């Protein structure tokens, strides 16, 4: 892999491991609780209160300020709002991001999908508009934030080729935002990149815009990435999020390939982009 051609973002999380507690001095009656464990507990509790509070403040700001802008400027203003608050959320939650190279300034970006943290990591780098399945709009907290950020919602059974959806993607790109697709159609445990759903790439065919590929990965100093960072299968959102609050630091790794104008039909484009994402994973 040629490191000069893509961007890499790295992020790791460590928290309280019950196994460590069982083998530590605090398992002995009367032993003091180690300071590192106490600080992690207090950090997790603080985040559990701070994250909903700051999300509420962010939503209030969005509701008050965005409607005052001209309609044509609102999509990019929502992306800027998400960018600003994602940078702040990264600090609160403990996500440390290192980049090599740069994310494309506009156009379409396709990426593998592991967790709701993907949105925070990617949008903290540059103003982005995300395309998501309509189910996300009903999620507690994240659904409200997604709607406020101007997320383009797509029905599972409908293609991204409807004129209304293509127009929304075009306006977001024209406004200076990067539009991000997760063409796997769902999140996974990160062990592999799932096949891309070509229908989600119809807008790339119709708009003939530059499309870049990205690959995101996570690592934990303690715990399982598949079980504690990746959000997949039938995991419950609130317990999963609460567990992340007790991780002292989160590092993510993401590589960006340079954008290119894609030719061919959407199935061919899907295969090419899938191969690129696989090739740039570390």
* Secondary structure of 154-212 as H, E, C letters: ECCCCCCCCHHHHHHHHHHHHCCCEEEECCCCCCCCCCCCCCCCHHHHHHHHHHCCEEE
pLDDT at 200: 82
pLDDT at 35: 53
Residue 28 pLDDT exceeds 50: no
pLDDT tens across 9-22, in order?
Answer: 333 334 444 444 33
pLDDT at 250: 86
Gap between the Cα atoms of 265 and 199, Å rounded:
10
Gap between the Cα atoms of 171 and 46, Å rounded:
39
Contacts of 245 (CB under 8 A, 6+ apart): 43, 44, 45, 47, 48, 51, 93
Residue 106 pLDDT exceeds 50: yes
- Closest of 56, 182, 55, 171 to residue 113, by C-alpha: 182
- The two tokens of residue 148 are 């406020």
Mean pLDDT, the chain, rounded, equals 84
Per-domain residue ranges for the chain? Answer: 7-18+33-280
pLDDT at 164: 80
Question: Would you list the DSSP string of 93-108?
Answer: HTEE---SS---SSEE
- The two tokens of residue 247 are 């991780």
Residue 82 pLDDT exceeds 90: yes
Query: pLDDT-derived band of residue 239, with 50, 70 and 90 as boundaries?
Result: very high
pLDDT at 163: 79
The length of the chain is 282
pLDDT at 12: 37
pLDDT at 159: 58
pLDDT at 25: 40
pLDDT tens across 253-274, in order?
Answer: 889 999 999 888 899 999 999 9
pLDDT tens across 118-170, in order?
Answer: 999 999 999 999 999 888 888 877 888 999 999 999 876 565 557 788 888 88
Gap between the Cα atoms of 136 and 155, Å rounded:
10
pLDDT at 34: 56
Q: How far is CA 77 from CA 126, 149, 162, 177, 227, in A?
A: 12, 9, 24, 10, 35
Average pLDDT over residues 71-76: 90
Number of other residues whose CB lies within 10 A of the CB of residue 169: 23
pLDDT tens across 178-208, in order?
Answer: 999 999 989 999 999 999 998 888 888 888 8
Residue 98 pLDDT exceeds 90: no
Query: pLDDT-derived band of residue 87, with 50, 70 and 90 as boundaries?
Result: very high
pLDDT at 2: 45
């Amino acid at each position: 892999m040629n490191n000069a051609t893509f961007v890499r973002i790295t992020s790791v999380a460590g928290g309280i491991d019950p196994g460590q507690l069982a083998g530590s001095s605090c398992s002995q009656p009367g032993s003091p609780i180690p300071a590192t464990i106490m600080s992690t507990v207090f950090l997790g509790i603080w985040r559990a209160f701070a994250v909903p509070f700051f999300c509420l403040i962010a939503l209030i700001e969005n509701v008050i300020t965005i409607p005052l802008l001209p309609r044509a400027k609102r999509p990019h203003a929502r992306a800027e709002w998400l960018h600003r608050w994602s940078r702040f959320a990264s600090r609160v939650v403990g996500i440390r991001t290192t980049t090599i190279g740069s994310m494309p300034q506009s156009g379409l970006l396709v990426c593998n999908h592991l967790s709701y943290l993907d949105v925070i990591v990617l949008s903290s780098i540059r103003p982005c508009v995300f395309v998501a399945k309509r189910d996300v709009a009903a999620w507690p907290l994240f659904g409200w934030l997604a709607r406020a950020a101007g997320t383009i919602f797509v029905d599972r059974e409908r293609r991204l080729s409807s004129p209304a959806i293509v127009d929304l993607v075009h306006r977001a790109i024209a406004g200076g935002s990067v539009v991000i697709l997760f063409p796997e159609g769902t999140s996974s445990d990160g062990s592999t990149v799932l096949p891309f759903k070509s229908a989600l790439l119809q807008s790339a065919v119709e708009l003939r815009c530059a499309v870049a590929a990205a690959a995101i990965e996570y690592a934990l100093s303690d715990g399982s990435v598949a079980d504690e960072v990746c959000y997949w299968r039938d995991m419950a959102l609130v317990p999963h999020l609460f567990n992340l609050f007790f991780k002292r630091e989160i590092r993510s790794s993401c590589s960006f390939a340079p954008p290119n104008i894609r030719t061919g039909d959407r199935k061919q484009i899907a295969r090419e982009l899938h191969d690129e994402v696989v090739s740039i994973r570390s």
